[in-house]
Each structure stands twice: as C-alpha cells, then as structure tokens.
Structure 1
Amino acid sequence: MRGALVALALVAAPVAAQELRPADAGRLAGWETSLGAALHGALAAGAPADVELLVESLSGVPGEIAPEGDWSCRTIKMGELSDLVVYAPFACRITAGEGGWRLEKLTGSQRMGGTIHAGEVPALYTGTAWVDGGPATDYAGLPPEDQTPVEPGQTVAQVGWFEQAGPGQARLLLPDPILESRFDILWLTR
C-alpha cells in the first residue's frame, strides 16, 4: 500500500528533473496486485528449480541501499508468455550518479539501464529496456503518453522498486512490463 501512495505522489512531483509518465505511475500503483497474480501462476506451474530461485530472489528483508559495484544478475519473468522463466546469470553494474545510482545490464541480447533514485526504501527505479542494437533514448526521452516500443531496439520504459536485502543481494521489482510478461524481477547477487 505504501508503494501505491508513493507512486501516486510521484505523478505530480518531479523525479530527478523529469516527470514520471502517467502510464508508468499507474503500473507502479498496482505493483502489489501484479506481483500477486504473477506469483500465483509461477508457484502453481513453474518448474521446481525455477520456483526455488524465485523464492530465493524474494528472500531477505529490504534495508539500507548501498548497491555500487559489479553484480551477477538474473532476469525472472512471470506471466503472459510463460508462468515462470529464470534466465542464466548476466553481468550488471551499478555506479554512483546524480540523485542515486545508475544500473546497467551489460550482457545478453535484452539490455536495460536506468536510475535508482536515492531516498525511500524501496527506491524508485526509472529506466529503459531494449534488445541489442538500442537504446533509442533514455527514460526522459520517451514519448510521455505512448507505451509503444521506440526503434531502434524496441526501447520501452521500465519503472519499479529497488530493494537491497544485504550487501550481497538486491532485487529490482518491475510491474507490468510493456513486453512479454506480467511481472519481472532482476535478481542481483555478488
């Protein structure tokens, strides 16, 4: 519920010198419902080894955010095309930036990058996802009212909540991605 209130407040408040797009604020406001529906399908029909990794990715109480450095990251997709898919590890990096941190997924054909905004826990994340060959623009450059992928690279907006459950584990919760799934988790480990 707190996440929904924060998301609604962000519609009128600037986010790191940019506005949160209205459709993205809506996705954030409904994140708990999206997660619940996606988890229901994933736990009921996912392969046991993938379910085990999903549970591990959600383990741990969120605390202080100090994410700078290199990470191993796995994308977990739930709902729509498949009940549960856990991808092999990729390389991610988080660096200090203005107003927070810059997260980048450095390997794989599906890439992403954006800002983890300093402040509340969980921390707001705004960014873009694209396939190799993109991105067409950053979050601020996307059309404010349109959720259609931008070329090159099928660049789409990403919004979510970043949580760190200790020095060696974090997760980025991404509700209602524009392409492929109902809910994504980027699970980061050191």
Structure 2
Amino acid sequence: MSRSSTGKSRFKASALIPGALISGVLATVLSGCATTPSPPPPPPPPSAPDAPGGAVLSDWRGVITAADRDRYQRRDAAWTLALQQAKRQAGSGDLNSLGDLIDPGAARPSATPPVGNYRCRTVKLGSQGGEGGLGYVVYGWFACHIEQTPAGLKFSKLTGSQRPSGLLFPENDRQMVFLGSMALASEPAARSYGQRPERDLVAVVERIGDQRWRLVIPWPANESNLDLIELVPAPARR
C-alpha cells in the first residue's frame, strides 16, 4: 500500500469516531488525573456549659479512677475506723479542740468555698500501722489557695512537705468532690490528676461552720486512714 493511501485510511478511520466518544475518553483521563478533595474536618465537640463565675460544670464521675472511686465509696468506713483508732490510741496534738472538724455529720449547706487565700492545716486520723501507730496527728497551719481556672475551681496547698492540688467538682449543696495529686518535699507543683496513680487523691469538700471548710480524704496512700484539711480564710494583708 502506498503512503498516500495509508494516510487516507487513517483519516477515514478517525473521522468515523463520534465526538461524544472522544469527549468521554478525555473526561475519563482527566478525572483520573484530578486529586480527590479531602473530606471536611469533623465538627468540634460541644463544650461544657458555664456556671456563674466562669466555672466549667464537669462531672467528676467521668474523670475519677477506679481506685479512687473505691476509696470514695468507702469513706464512711474510713471515718468509723479512723475515729475509733484516734480515740483509743495515743496521738500528737489536741484532738478535743477540733470540734466539728472531726464530726462526720457536720456538713452544712453552701459547700463551695470562695476564691482567695486560706490558712490550712492537716489532721490525720487513724493509723495504717494498726495499734502500734499514732491514733491522730494535728499539724500546724500552712498556706493554701483557691482560684478560678478555665476548668473550674482549683485548690492548692502552697507550703508544707505534703502539698495536694486539684479541681473541685460540683456535687450538691452540701458537698463538692476534689480530685487531685500530691507533691512531696521539694518537688514542683503536683501533676494533673491521673498521671501518677500513687499520688492521686479523692476528697469530699464540705462547709462545717461560718467561714470554715474541710477536705475529707478517705484511705490516703500513707500513714493514716483518714486525712482532714481544714480551711479558714487568711487574714487580709496590710
């Protein structure tokens, strides 16, 4: 076949391909080269509602560890054992002067302590060493602070060799729930709750008098069977 006849045949063949078919082939090729767009990002999770003063109403039940949940649920047993030991075993300090601080039923309405500086002292009741240990220890006064944070009210013990720190969660009119962690000796401020299980704390926060509050810590990790931290407002600085 001659060159001219071959060219005519090719021309005739290409002329027979419908335009629609050519467009479809081109569309298929171009679509294969196109980049598939990324899916839109998921919507942000709903934020927790704000309480008066900017506190975030979080549910402590979704935060507490299994070990601390067990301590919290057995706090009545901690009160019973610790008071029994404190009354029959020798101790350090004046137990009889503590009044409502060591009364399990002393909680009053309006449990939320206001933001500010506080004087605080720790009272340890009962002994993990049994009858051979001290039944109670009443410590001196240290500095504590309650502040408003984006996550809610935060309690911190600022001085002393044992310095708990953590958030106060709303529970009811007579109680708040504290979830925090403990810093010891010269360590920096305590880490967030749940990062070091051996340092985690759960406590019930109650108002027990005019301008007087307590943190009730059942089954602490060391020494006692019940710890109480008493809070009273610090005198204003002049």
Do they superpose with TM above 0.5?
A: yes
- Matching residue of 1:57: 101
Matched, 1:130 2:174: no
Distance in 2 of aligned mates of 1:137 and 1:181: 23
- Matching residue of 1:139: 193
CA change 1:107–1:44 in 2 (3 A) is same
The runs of at least 4 consecutive aligned structure 1 residues that moved more than 6 Å come to none
**Per-residue CA distance 1:133-184 (angstroms, 9 max, x = gap):** 1456210323xxxx4x4xxxxxx01101000134410000000001221110
- Matching residue of 2:218: 175
CA drift at 1:53:
3.4
Distance in 2 of aligned mates of 1:179 and 1:49: 19
SS of aligned partner of 2:224: coil
**Per-residue CA distance 1:85-123 (angstroms, 9 max, x = gap):** 000000111112345410010111211101111232311
CA drift at 1:46:
4.6
Q: Which has the larger radius of gyration?
A: 2
> 1:99 touches 1:117 (CA, 8 Å); kept in 2?
no
CA change 1:126–1:53 in 2 (3 A) is farther
> 1:65 touches 1:163 (CA, 8 Å); kept in 2?
yes
Tell me, which stretches of 5 or more residues in structure 1 are unaligned?
Answer: 1-12, 150-155
Greater per-residue helix proportion:
2
- Matching residue of 1:6: none
TM-score (norm 2): 0.63
Distance in 2 of aligned mates of 1:102 and 1:33: 27
CA drift at 1:47:
5.0
Distance in 2 of aligned mates of 1:99 and 1:62: 25
CA change 1:25–1:61 in 2 (3 A) is closer
Q: For residues 92-171 of structure 1, what are the structure 2 equivalents within 5 Å?
A: 92-98=144-150, 100-120=152-172, 121-132=174-185, 133-135=187-189, 137-142=191-196, 147=197, 149=198, 156-171=199-214
Tell me, which stretches of 5 or more residues in structure 2 are unaligned?
Answer: 1-57, 128-132, 234-238
Matched, 1:32 2:86: no
Task: Give the aligned residue type for 2:124.
Answer: K
TM-score (norm 1): 0.77
Task: Give the aligned residue type for 1:129.
Answer: M
- Matching residue of 1:9: none
SS of aligned partner of 2:135: strand
Distance in 1 of aligned mates of 2:109 and 2:143: 23
Q: For residues 53-92 of structure 1, what are the structure 2 equivalents within 5 Å?
A: 53-58=97-102, 60-67=106-113, 68-80=115-127, 81-92=133-144
Give RMSD over aligned pairs: 2.4
CA change 1:130–1:49 in 2 (3 A) is closer
Task: Give the aligned residue type for 2:191.
Answer: T
SS of aligned partner of 2:98: helix
Matched, 1:43 2:80: no
Aligned residues: 166
Matched, 1:15 2:60: yes
